Amino acid sequence: MERRVELTLTLDPKSSKPLQAQVFDQIREIILDGQLKAGMALPPSRLLAERLRVSRNTVIIAYERLAAEGYVKARGTAGLFVGPIPPDSLLLIQRGSQPLTNGPVSEELGEPLLCFAGSPGGGGDRPELDFWVGRSDPGAFPIRIWRRIVSRLLSQETAYLTDYCDPAGLPELRTAISTHLRRARAVAVTEDQVIVTTGGQDALNLVFNLLKSHTRQLCIENPCYLGASLIFRSTELTIHPVPVDGEGLRTDLLPKDRGSLLYVTPSHQFPTGATMSLSRRLALLRWAEETDSYIVEDDYDSDFRYDGPPLTALAGLDGGRRVFYVGTFSKSVGAGLRIGFATVPRMFWGEARMLKARMSNGQAWLEQAALAAFIDEGHFDRHLRRLRQVYKARRDCLVTALRRTFAGAVVIGGDSGLHLVWRLPPGFPPARQIQVMARERGIGVYALSSGAAYDFHSNAVDNMLVFGYSSLNEIQIKKAIAEIQEIIQ
């Protein structure tokens, strides 16, 4: 029999957090606490809206997000019910006893810095119509606003150009980043957990260097981001490549040994585009807790989500214990800025800040100050809203062109980010062969083991082609797909 419960929520209309986010957070918390169990029904949205004295839309948006993240499921017209996952055992993860205090600062981090020559995504001899992954539209940089902010800063605050700033990054920027993360990704961090870095790659290096003395083996999703694989492969540590499928990393195949460091892209797996399911996210956190392991969550392109509300990051579920979150402004503002960041559990803050000081003693002031103003003054949100529309139209154009040209084309991973994957039907040439033939015609498309992606198993099934669509306009996209049709025929 269906069990409906009363939900006791307390909303604060004066809070800067939108009402729908308050409703979402509180119901999610009730589910995670185990008060709402699998199979129980949520109250109808109209009823809850009346009780809370909010608009029905507010409740509907919160419900949609709960459904998108897998907490509840619709059963026809009967309403929304708490899903079979997460089972109670998974829910205990966040309730551990480790205190969230500052940890000791170790002096043991004397190893030389890891580095590699040449950016995996960088320049070179690129084809004319290039679906290289993760490149912004060349005209996307908000140059007029940026120029205004920079010239204002230079006329007011030049003293900062002759001084050092905090090695962890400019406090205003760290505050702006933590506010954005809390709001957009449900990652509850404060500015004293954020380290500003030279792009996401530097953040990955920072986290790796920070944790390597705690690490016995490395785990990485396979296929994966080349930049992460380069860092991992430059060490003597054993690497466990863990396969991915349509739900992201196969958590059942993670090694049970203690002391792993895992690299993962749960929101939009690089390169397959899969979104990791909630049950796997929770299984991942439980695995980390049970094996005393740490996770690097690379959330490189999640500012772009086109269908449905944003998904809570893994770091948001973890509650600041075992997940190091890595972000970048390379996709959202511009890779030339070279600004990214890592968030660290409080326990590691002192060590991380000291390591950053040793690596580079902080970041350039002007870009950080300009970016902080750009975010604080609301330009960043507006810029993202505009770009989401542009990139969504390109994504739609690509999906339509593929489906029209190759009847029934299976396209995956297009809900978010800046790339998607076309799974080639049986009888088509292998992806690598299409990549080579396309290249001869001036078109860049990429198999899962090429471009900015890396596959630890060279004999993997080669039937997926990756398309980064953000830097090509609709005319170019249609032209490229028509050419690919000719190539394949």
Shortest Cβ distance from residue 166 to ligand PLP (Å)? 21
Tokens matching residue 200? 């996401």
φ and ψ at 31, to 5 degrees?
Answer: -70, -45
Shortest Cβ distance from residue 273 to ligand PLP (Å)? 11
Cβ closest to ligand PLP, residue 193 vs residue 265: 265
Cβ closest to ligand PLP, residue 45 vs residue 197: 197
φ and ψ at 196, to 5 degrees?
Answer: -80, 135
Closest CA to 237 of 257, 219, 250, 254: 219
Shortest Cβ distance from residue 235 to ligand PLP (Å)? 18
Shortest Cβ distance from residue 105 to ligand PLP (Å)? 27
Question: What span, in angstroms and rounded, lies between the C-alpha atoms of 376 and 394?
Answer: 29
Shortest Cβ distance from residue 271 to ligand PLP (Å)? 8
Cβ closest to ligand PLP, residue 333 vs residue 347: 333
CB 82 within 8 A of CB 37: yes
Cβ closest to ligand PLP, residue 169 vs residue 227: 227
Question: What span, in angstroms and rounded, lies between the C-alpha atoms of 65 and 312?
Answer: 9
Shortest Cβ distance from residue 32 to ligand PLP (Å)? 28
Cβ closest to ligand PLP, residue 32 vs residue 218: 218
Tokens matching residue 90? 């998974």
CB 207 within 8 A of CB 296: yes
At residue 452, the 3 state secondary structure works out as: coil
Shortest Cβ distance from residue 426 to ligand PLP (Å)? 29
Q: Which residues bind ligand PLP (CB under 6 A)?
A: 121, 134, 199-201, 225, 227, 265, 270, 298, 300, 328, 330, 335, 340, 452
Tokens matching residue 387? 């770009």
Environment class of residue 116 by beta-carbon count within 10 Å: exposed (0-12), middle (13-18) or buried (19+)? middle
CA angle (55 as vertex; 53, 57 as ends), nearest 5: 145
Cβ closest to ligand PLP, residue 200 vs residue 413: 200
Cβ closest to ligand PLP, residue 134 vs residue 310: 134
Residues ≥6 apart with Cβ < 8 Å to 62: 20, 21, 23, 24, 27
Shortest Cβ distance from residue 336 to ligand PLP (Å)? 9
Shortest Cβ distance from residue 446 to ligand PLP (Å)? 12
Closest CA to 405 of 476, 475, 479, 485: 485
CB 217 within 8 A of CB 236: no
CB 416 within 8 A of CB 304: yes
Cβ closest to ligand PLP, residue 134 vs residue 169: 134
Residues ≥6 apart with Cβ < 8 Å to 160: 365, 366, 369
